């Protein structure tokens, strides 16, 4: 079930974000992701419109929108491959007429997932935080 985030979800969301980020982005040091946890807690999550996916009253995935950007979408690694990401992405797309996101070029699994869900590459640039190449993708012309 997808529901609006509430502050009681923060520890679950941060745990999912960190575990899934380290797993999906093995080309970036785990130390980098760990160094970003407090920024997620204090800046990014509060500034975003966040929804969580619960199963058996446990948060197992979430997404965050900031304006027309899908700032984050993560599913707990233990629950990946069950369609939760597709449900979250479909819900996110229903919230905006155009949705943009950034994905690391090296994260081919996520890149292919976004292509399969109707996103197109609109630009390629270097991520200012990690120096790794990333794509900007969109569901529409921006």
> Tokens for 113?
């997932």
Q: Band the pLDDT of 6: cuts 50, 70, 90.
A: very high
Question: Residues near 33 by Cβ (< 8 Å), separated by ≥ 6?
Answer: 18, 21, 22, 25
pLDDT digits (tens, 9 = 90+) for 85-101: 999 999 999 999 999 99
* Residue 94 DSSP SS3: helix
pLDDT over 60 (residue 124): yes
| H helical segments located in the chain | 10-24, 30-35, 37-39, 45-47, 84-95, 108-116
pLDDT digits (tens, 9 = 90+) for 65-83: 999 999 999 999 999 999 9
Q: Band the pLDDT of 141: cuts 50, 70, 90.
A: low
In this prediction the pTM is 0.91
pLDDT over 90 (residue 25): no
Q: For residue 72, what are the CA distances in angstroms to 22, 56, 62?
A: 14, 23, 8
User: Which sign does the torsion angle of CA 28, 46, 115, 82 carry?
Assistant: positive
């Amino acid at each position: 079930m997808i529901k609006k985030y509430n502050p009681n979800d923060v520890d679950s969301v941060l745990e999912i974000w960190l575990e899934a980020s380290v797993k999906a982005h093995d080309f970036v040091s785990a130390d980098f992701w760990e160094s970003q946890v407090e920024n997620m807690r204090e800046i990014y999550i509060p500034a975003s419109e966040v929804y969580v996916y619960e199963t058996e009253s446990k948060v197992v995935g979430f997404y965050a929108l900031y304006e027309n950007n899908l700032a984050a979408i993560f599913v707990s690694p233990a629950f990946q491959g069950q369609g939760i990401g597709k449900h979250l992405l479909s819900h996110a797309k229903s919230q905006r007429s155009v949705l943009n996101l950034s994905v690391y070029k090296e994260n081919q699994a996520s890149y292919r997932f976004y292509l399969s869900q109707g996103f197109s590459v609109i630009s390629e640039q270097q991520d200012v935080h990690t120096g790794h190449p990333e794509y900007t993708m969109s569901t529409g012309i921006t």
